[in-house]
Amino acid sequence: MATDSPANPLPSDFEWGFATAAYQIEGAVNEDGRGKSIWDTFCHLEPTRTKGDSGDIACDHYHRFEEDFDLLSKYGAKAYRFSISWSRIIPMGGRNDAVNEKGIAFYSQMIDSLLKRNIVPWVTLYHWDLPQALHDRYGGWLNVEESQLDFERFAKVCYERFGDRVKNWITLNEPWIVSIFGYATGGNAPGRSSINPQSTEGNSATEPWIVGKALIMSHARAVALYNKEFRAAQNGRIGISLNGDFYEPWDAQDERDHQAAERRMEFHIGWFANPVCLAQDYPTCMREQLGDRLPEFTEADFALLREAEMDFYGMNYYTSQFARHRDGPASETDCLGNVEEFQENKEGLSVGEPSGVHWLRSTPKLFRKHLTRVYRKYGKPIYVTENGCPCPGEDKMTVEEAVNDTYRIRYFEDHIDAVALARSEDGSDIKGYFAWSLMDNLEWSDGYGVRFGVTFTDYNTLARTPKQSALLLKGMFEKQMAPS
């Protein structure tokens, strides 16, 4: 049995595996009764907002999941995180709408296949793919009251039909991205924005904050329901996956930049973590900047948040940045906390080694700081529910070149080391790690160019080819868990 001493920082029951999301890999968008999601609509807008790509076929995981699970077994994964397509389960999305039994059967087969392989299923209920019917019916997440009731019903169906075998639930994936990219910048579905020239509808000053509250209360309803009606019998765990970078001051000598770095993290993480982890109001700096554009929580809301006690904090982490304060008041459409973001500091020092996508640099030392900050601030055991990268130039590589993914191997090694150090030296309770992603897939509005997978996907033949990183991850974890 491994101990938690510095020589053996990861315990023997540390969970690790790979993660995916339904719309990015499944395809089969018109098969077996699945309804449209907002991403189906967004990917087919003209002119294109997704580089001409869509999830219509994606990796065809819907027909190939056994082949993909063979890869999980080959890679030695203990666990697999995937999401359930809401509109495959309830095509029209609403609490009074019909359940699609063929959709239930598909995910049931997936879960059974994982369990036969001794791979633990981790289910994300919502990974960005709102049923289009709900967006059409009442504005989707813009209707705080209706959306949370419909999400609660969707969650209940999933608990009822899969909870006998699924013991690990994630309510929402990255509500910050849903709110900001979907309703402020307009870069993601449903593409609403008043500052994006490609968008025809939206109000970037108000809509992201309304959507944020809808997501927070939807999460709360799903967790409270699980606690009240399913936990005792099913004996599972439930949490949320929040994204967020770690920020350091652009000018280490300027107190205003220190404050900007902390404020940026409050706008990124505290927005959701304060209510869902602590049953507290939004961070003070958000109230000060946004005023009455930030929806209030009622006493009934706080009561529900207190009932929604969750088991873990899911952390999606990719990179870190420098924050520089802005002089003067924030613009009405600012959603960052009135800061500027940089990948180099005042001295020109890079935050980390560049990857294959412009926004991501490898920052393992700041990952360690991030893990410890989040654990100390919110007090929940942490599962790293996403972490990964594309290699420099990988989007232009042949399969023979891409499988030799030395940058990704180094990225994983360094970030797994950071997890081990955060546990053994900083006292942070980190219980699991999911690499993003099992295979190259639709990178949302970036289409199929950017490759995050540990498996190379040939999008013409849909052949899968393991990259070296996939085959080496098991060894990385065994090294951390092995006796010295």
Which of 26, 146, 174, 394 is an active site residue? 174
The answer to whether residue 7 sits within a structural domain is: no
Q: What is the pLDDT of residue 3?
A: 41
The number of CA neighbours under 13 Å toward the Cβ of 271 is 32
The dihedral sign for the CA sequence 130, 69, 30, 452? positive
Q: How far apart are the first and last CA of the chain?
A: 12
Domain hosting residue 227, numbered range: 15-481
Which ranges of 55-191 does DSSP label H, i.e. alpha helix?
61-75, 86-89, 101-116, 132-138, 144-162, 175-183
- Residue 484: how many CB atoms within 10 A of its CB? 8
Which residues make Cβ contacts (< 8 Å) with residue 235, sequence separation at least 6?
A: 167
Distance from C-alpha of 321 to C-alpha of 343, rounded to nearest angstrom: 5
365-374, 457-466, 473-482: the lowest-pLDDT one: 473-482
CB of 316 closer than 8 Å to CB of 387: yes
* Pairing outcome for strands 168-173 and 237-243: parallel
- Residue 66: how many CB atoms within 10 A of its CB? 11
- Residue 62: how many CB atoms within 10 A of its CB? 21
Backbone angles phi and psi of 173, in degrees to 5: -105, 120
Backbone angles phi and psi of 253, in degrees to 5: -90, -5
* pLDDT per position as a tens digit, 414-443: 999 999 999 999 999 999 999 999 999 999
Structure tokens at 14: 């540390």
Q: What is the pLDDT of residue 1?
A: 37
- Count: domains in the chain: 1
Instruction: Give the angle subtended at the CA of 53 by the CAs of 51 and 54, to the nearest 5°.
Output: 140
Write the DSSP symbol of residue 329: P
Q: Would residue 248 show up in a list of annotated catalytic residues for this protein?
A: no
Which residues make Cβ contacts (< 8 Å) with residue 298, sequence separation at least 6?
A: none
* pLDDT per position as a tens digit, 31-74: 999 999 999 999 999 999 999 999 999 999 999 999 999 999 99
Which of 386, 394, 413, 443 is an active site residue? 386
Give the mean model confidence (pLDDT) for residues 234-249: 98
User: Does the pLDDT value for residue 233 go beyond 80?
Assistant: yes
Q: Categorize the per-residue pLDDT at 9 as very low, low, confident or very high, splitting at 50, 70 and 90.
A: confident
Distance from C-alpha of 375 to C-alpha of 368, rounded to nearest angstrom: 11
* pLDDT per position as a tens digit, 338-361: 999 999 999 999 999 999 999 999
Distance from C-alpha of 479 to C-alpha of 171, rounded to nearest angstrom: 32
Report the SS3 class of residue 208: helix
Chain-wide mean pLDDT for the chain?
97
Neighbour-count burial of 438, counting CB atoms closer than 10 A to its CB (0-12 exposed, 13-18 middle, 19+ buried): buried
How far, CA to CA in Å, does 109 sit from each of 63, 64, 106, 437, 449?
12, 12, 5, 21, 31
CATH code of the domain covering residue 189: 3.20.20.80
Helix (H) or strand (E) holding 209: helix 207-225
Which ranges of 172-206 does DSSP label H, i.e. alpha helix?
175-183
- Residue 87: how many CB atoms within 10 A of its CB? 28
Q: Categorize the per-residue pLDDT at 214 as very low, low, confident or very high, splitting at 50, 70 and 90.
A: very high
User: Does the pLDDT value for residue 2 go beyond 90?
Assistant: no
> Residues of the chain with pLDDT > 70: what percent?
98
Q: Would residue 386 show up in a list of annotated catalytic residues for this protein?
A: yes
Report the SS3 class of residue 169: strand
* pLDDT per position as a tens digit, 272-325: 999 999 999 999 999 999 999 999 999 999 999 999 999 999 999 999 999 999
The answer to whether residue 22 sits within a structural domain is: yes
The answer to whether residue 87 sits within a structural domain is: yes
Q: What is the pLDDT of residue 128?
A: 98
pTM metric for this prediction: 0.98
